[in-house]
A and B are shown apart, each in its own frame.
Chain A
């Protein structure tokens, strides 16, 4: 059953056609990778899922409700979390706070005037956040200021921030970009574990090693349109994909 269904989505920037009649079905509980050459429209598509961009035409349905015309926070409250290409974290706050904040959003909704209770009395959320930090291997740094982390650690923190919300759909925009090989492998392991819990994931990735280690299904986007959608093992040999990349990545 498709948890996210994208139908006939079009998006123009001036004269440039960024998305050209995109159709996509993401099945619940799967890891779906979207690949394609630079400028193919991958990030644009992701932006249409989270309310950063509004498509010109078409529909994006998630779990029975439309994601169009509503605010980013409403989309998140429906169960969609996103990891950004450059990590978006709370740089001035501690790691623990960084992870507790999304937990609050999950529990209390988009606005609660909770100005009297103390954060320190929220032991349940704190434990949850600490577990999540442990999960990504950052528990030792829980009191550090997030802005001082290395790039790889920031990514993992952001991942933890998304996961603590137990999203129904997790969108990842190049989660391993700029990471060293060892870090990448750790991240792959982490994501595998997440996938085992049944979280649906949409991954944009250039690193084919990552893609093929994780993806249940792959869509190839070129010039704003989905040219192929298939299982990983079939993608490798597909001539249309080869052509789209044409000297791009090694498949």
Chain B
């Protein structure tokens, strides 16, 4: 009993700062108590854990994330051309690792399943001594792993996760997200939709029937209805339905003139392809051109939909055609190493790794509470999204959001999206308490 409470009390920031720490064999760390923290690096290296989908539907995104992580590690350790470290506004990192320690990494396969992702993260924490876990390509997995990292006492730097819940109702002190969310997508898209389609529209939603889909649907509805749009129907589709024809044909005669596809990944590719196949893009309803909207775009997935994305609006966290110095530096260094441009998943993962390393350097420790404090309220620039802030209240990055459109005349197979609007950060900001949830205290693990 008493042991348990001391253990938990040990999390408090004040004691944690004392942190000389005892060297403990990993075998006993989880139950032992000390002023140190879990997996405190003792040697000349510090281990990052990259937890990405290597099998399953998002394996390609996972592979791209892993490439970005490897690049980030190179840059942090002073190899390669330094990439975005050269444009990053914080100059704490010297290209000699972090806190004098060289960064090494371990990898794991999330399989895009919560259980597998947690098992893999646990392995990296328990066996490989990872000090931080990062990665992932879906919100369910991100929230599951974030919860695990909170329990275990390491920092979690979320990869591609778009649901509000990650930094909303399921937020955790040890978790940080650079990627944007459905709320921001809605806020950023709405003005562009108004400019292009007017304020007298009837929308029909097809929504992937799970939490992210609902979150997306809610945000888009909220912002488009504020424009004066009506919502004809919001239909839930099973995850991985494959053929969506039975959901698309009712759209034809529903009187709706906009179809919103709250789908991601393969569902997005299939529903969009099929919606175009059913002639929706060329249709006229209520005297207006029928429009399709894909609120969350991923360039990798857009490639899968081929020609069908042409002219279709959506939002994205980052795109390689951006012309700011940070983006250019990143695209150059990624393109030279791998021969093709990075995806937004790669970008957010690279940024997260850099941001984490930088925070550790500035804090002078790897202790989660110390690193967290360095990240909270941190304002930076030069990572491709303009001036950005890690908001202290919910550990969410606030930055400009890109509204993109499927390109009419792509010059290469990577060139499928064009940026039509960079919605400024002020427009997508929302009060921290709006989405509920509780950060709770940091957990340093030991």
Q: Please determine if A and B sit in direct contact within the complex, based on CB atoms under 8 angstroms apart.
A: no
